[in-house]
Amino acid sequence: MSVYMNNAATTWPKPEPVARAMYDFLASGGANLARGSASRRDLETMDLVGDVRERLARFFGGHEKGDPRYVTFSLNVTEALNVIFRGFLRPGMAVVTTSMEHNAVVRPLRRLEEEGTSLTILPCDPRGRLDPSLLRERLREGADLFVLSHASNLCGTVQDLEAVAEICRDASVPLVVDAAQTAGLLPLDAAALDVAALCFTGHKGLMGPQGTGGIVWRPDFARACRPLVDGGTGSRSHEERQPDMLPDKFESGTPNLPGLAGLRAALIWLEKEGVASIRRHEEVLGSRLLEGLRALPGATLYGLEGTEGRLPVFALNLASMDNGTLAAELTDRWEIESRPGLHCAPLAHRTLGSFPQGALRLSPGYFTEEAEIDLCLEGLSELAR
C-alpha cells in the first residue's frame, strides 16, 4: 500500500460512503435534475440536490440565514473563480489580490488585465502572510474587488481572514475567498465575515469527489454578476433569456449529479466527525512531520516555522538532490506519494524564495497514520544523507 502525502492536491482515501453514494445514484437514482415527469426518480434527484445545497449553506454560514438558493454548483474552485471574475469584472475596473495565489486566481486575472481590467498584486512576506495594513492602504486608492486565498496550497500559511474581511467591509469592496485548501479544515462563516463570494472545491478538505465545487454568494453580489454560461436550467422553459433567479442563473446544463451524491455523503461524514476534531487530528500529524523535517540535514523549509497559523502542508528542499528526483526516489523506494515542482503557484514560490526550482510538498490528511509520517521521515533522512 502506498503512503499518500498529497492531500493538498486531492484528499485520499475518501470516506467510504462517498463512493457508495455515487454508485447508488447511478445504479438506482440517476434521473436528470428538473428535466423529467415528476416520477419518483425525478423527485429523489431534486431532493438530493436540494439537500446538498442546504448542507453547504449551513456548513459555510450561508447568507440570508443560510438560504440554500445562494449556493451554486460548479465543477471545481477554478471554474467558480472564473464565474466571478468573468461575471463581475469589466475593462476599467480594478481588482486586487496577493502574491500567494494559485494560478486559478492569477491566470484568469492576467487575461482580464490584457482586456483592460487593472490588476494589483500585493506582496506577502517570505512566510506567505499578507500584512492587512497593506490591503487597507491599497483599498484607500479605490478598488472594485479583492481576491484572497484563505490558505496557501504550497506551505499551508493561513491568512488573517477576519482582519481582511473587516478592511474590505470598511472600504465597501467585495471580498472573494478561494477556500480550496481550508473548506472542511477551518471553520468558515460567509455571512458573519460578509464575504461576497466564497469559492470551494469538493475534492479536498470537503472529502468529496472530483468535479464538484461551487460558490456561496452574498445576494447583492450574485445580482451584480453575469453568468459565465447561459443555457437550459430545467426552469422557465418558456423564456429565451437566462433566468435571473438563483441558483438557476449560474447553473445551466446538467450538473455532476453522481458527484453531488458523493459530496452529500462526504458532508454527512464531515458533520459527524466535526471540523474542529478533524483539524485537531491533522494538527497532531502535522506537528510530528514538522518536527522531523526540521531535523533533516541540509533541509530548507518554506513558510511558517511552527504549527500556529498554518495547515499541515509543508514545502521543502534538500541540499542532496533536486525536488523532482526526491519525489521520484520517495515513490520508487518507499511508495510515498508527494508533489514536487511549482504547484500551479509560481508567484507563491517567488514570494517564498523557491522559484524557479520549486519544492517538495508533503501534505498528510485525516487518514494518514503516524507510522506513515515516520516512514516518510526515515526515507527523507536517508535521501538527505
User: C-beta of 85: minimal distance to ligand PLP in Å?
Assistant: 13
Q: How far apart are CA 228 and CA 242, in angstroms?
A: 11
Select the residue interacting with ligand PLP from 178, 248, 282, 372 (CB under 6 A).
Answer: 178
Minimal CB distance to ligand PLP: which residue? Answer: 153
Strands 314-318 and 175-178: unpaired
- Decide if 71 contacts 215 (C-beta within 8 A): yes
Residue whose C-alpha cell reads 487518514 in the numeric block: 367
Per CB under 6 A, which region of 23-31, 32-40, 74-82, 155-163 contacts ligand PLP?
Answer: 74-82
Residue 91: cis peptide before it, omega within 30 degrees of 0: no
- Bridge partners of 201? 213
Q: Least distance (Å) from ligand PLP to the CB of residue 178?
A: 5
Binding mask 201-240 for ligand PLP (x = CB under 6 A): x---------------------------------------
Residue 258 C-alpha cell reads as 453522481
Question: Nearer to ligand PLP by C-beta: 6 or 45?
Answer: 6
Select from 181, 351, 363, 368 the one that contacts ligand PLP (CB under 6 A). Answer: 181
Which three cell numbers, joined as nine digits, stand for 360?
517538495
Q: Tell me the per-residue interface mask from 276 to 305 with ligand PLP, x by CB under 6 A, - otherwise.
A: ------------------------------
Using the rule CB under 6 A, is 368 a contact of ligand PLP?
A: no
Q: Alpha-carbon Rg of the chain, whole angstroms?
A: 21
Question: What is the pattern of x (binds ligand PLP, CB under 6 A) and - over residues 138-177?
Answer: -----------x---x------------------------
# residues near ligand PLP by CB under 6 A? 11
Q: Which residue lies nearer to ligand PLP by CB, 78 or 354?
A: 78
Look up residue 262 and give its DSSP letter.
H
DSSP E strands, the chain: 3-4, 71-74, 94-98, 118-122, 145-149, 175-178, 197-201, 213-217, 299-302, 314-318, 336-337, 360-362
Beta carbon nearer to ligand PLP, 13 or 297: 13
Given a contact cutoff of 8 angstroms between Cβ atoms, the answer to whether 270 and 184 are in contact is yes
| In the complex, least distance from residue 252 CB atom to ligand PLP, rounded to whole angstroms | 19
How near is the Cβ of 355 to ligand PLP at its closest, in Å? 17
User: With contact defined as beta carbons under 8 Å apart, do 34 and 175 qualify?
Assistant: no
How remote is the C-alpha of 117 from its chain's centroid?
24
**Contact at 8 Å (CB) between 149 and 124?**
no
178 vs 372, beta carbon nearer ligand PLP: 178
Q: How many CB atoms lie within 10 A of CB 137?
A: 12
Pick the binder of ligand PLP from 57, 122, 180, 290 (CB under 6 A).
180
Q: How many CA within 13 A on the CB side of residue 89?
A: 30
φ, ψ of residue 310 in degrees (nearest 5): -145, 165
* Contact with ligand PLP (CB under 6 A) among 31, 33, 77, 216: 77
Nearer to ligand PLP, 98 or 153 (CB): 153
Pick between residue 77 and residue 207 the one whose CB is nearest to ligand PLP.
Answer: 77
Per CB under 6 A, the segment of 72-80, 254-262, 276-284, 351-359 that binds ligand PLP is 72-80
Q: Does 78 bind ligand PLP (CB under 6 A)?
A: yes
- Min dist CB 8 to ligand PLP, Å, is 6
Chain residues 95-114 in contact with ligand PLP, contact rule CB under 6 A: 102, 104
- Minimum CB distance to ligand PLP, residue 385 (Å): 32
- Half-sphere exposure in the Cβ direction for 76 (13 Å, CA): 11
The residues that bridge with 120 in the sheet, in sequence order, are 96
Q: Cα 81 vs. chain centroid, distance in angstroms? A: 10
The sign one gets for the Cα dihedral 327, 332, 338, 344 is positive
Name the minimum Å distance from CB 350 to ligand PLP.
16
Residues forming contacts to ligand PLP in the complex (CB under 6 A) are 76-78, 102, 104, 149, 153, 178, 180-181, 201
